Structure 1
Amino acid sequence: MASILPSHLLHHHHLRCSALAAIPNRFFYLTLSSSSRTKSAFSASQNEFASLGDLEFEAPLKIAKYPDPKLRKKNKRIGTFDDNLKKLVDEMFDVMYETDGIGLSAPQVGINVQLMVFNPVGERGEGEEIVLVNPRVGKRSLNRTIYNEGCLSFPGIRGDVKRPEYVKIDALDVKGKRFSVSLSGLPARIFQHEFDHLQGILFFERMADEVFDSIRGQLQALEIEYEEMTGFPSPEKIESRRTRKVPSGFGKS
């Protein structure tokens, strides 16, 4: 079984949750347990599920950069498990590998559904490719670790983020079969970053105030770039932000 990355190394390990150079397989711990239950085990009202139109896409996929409003839109649950979903997953892995990434969420490529892919090794054909559909967090550790995170949706921007060292989640695979997965070390960090994307939460909202202040100018530069590229006002303004809006756990409240 692979060993867990020692805690004294975690603090010094620079992480780009959507764009990280390959990390050796020995640096993470991952266990999977399948269940015979299918997608019907996840209760949700019908209007929360994505339509076929919500899952339409054109290849090649492109990364949505802050402050693209797609990064803040509600991400619907997936209830259709067909060839189109498999193609979407394949395309997301393509984008991830092409950008030297180890994880990617659907809203980051402009598709607002509850879907993420990742491979902690970051190399096609190596490590383990994980696909999580409609993921939910079960347990998480009280111990938290700081990593220096970055994100493809925030090119060139990095900052320390404190997150739980361990999480246990329930999800569906690309065929609609339910399973549980326990993650620690790097995979836990990747999952939490991408899970935040599925909640419309961006990594700077998890930063301590002093860390956030250190990247404020870079975020404003991305807002200006968006306005120049689209001709529209930025949908959000860092200059008007006074305090962080989300707690240190999962979700918005």
Structure 2
Amino acid sequence: MPYKEPEIRTVNVTRYVTPLREGGSLPAIAEADDDFLYVLKFRGAGQGVKALIAELIGGEIARALGLKVPEIVFAELDTAFGRTEPDEEIQDLLKASVGTNLALHYLSGAMTFDPVVTSLAAKLASQIVWLDCLITNVDRTARNTNMLIWNKELWLIDHGAALYFHHSWQNWKEHAAKPFVQVKDHVLLPFATELELVNREYASMLTEELISRIVALVPDSWLNDLQEGTPQQHREVYTQYLLTRISLSATFVKEAQDARNAII
């Protein structure tokens, strides 16, 4: 199915349901005014808006490539939200997250992907490895696969640790040209035997226009929280970083192939 340019909906969070105490960012299951449940990622947590930016860009690139990602929405938190929350740590998090946050549709009943239980086709494994090499996603390991099985299909979640170049803006050009050495720990690397085929397909799909449209989704309010520079300047860096990596994709494909050969 052709990729349809996303129109990210905005919802208002109405009820904090329960925390998901995984990692340091304290995401939560929350209900919104459309009566759906979401996994809510807070701008006031951990790495702040950088994790939300990586989640949005990484998730929408994955969707553009035909991979399954839960719907991403912008989630608004009102200043009054959470005042009755008894847990002081959560209350502080909610206060620090007033405004636009990010949420993913909650896949009720989904099971964590386990490569021992569920086998994947070589091409799908290669597609996911290629994606994670592109966006430098360090968080798809055997310890934490960040993949779910829902309705007998594989869904990708949690891309907030990707695009780690933006923690050191001054060196973004250098980072863009580097191989992704952390691919050696990727849970799907042993099954990724079709990387060259996927590279030809995916590199041609991710045009400058498409990358620019995805990056343009990032709200100004998040980009204003970054270091010096205008939102448009930050968008240009994200766009050029990704386009550089796509143009040099043979570099990270070779790194992945070498890492795979070393473990099989």
TM-score (normalised: structure 2): 0.27
Higher relative CO (CA 8 A, sep ≥ 6), structure 1 or 2?
A: 1
Which has a greater percent of helix? 2
* Higher percent of residues as strand: 1
Larger Rg: 2
Structure 1 length as normaliser, TM-score?
Answer: 0.28
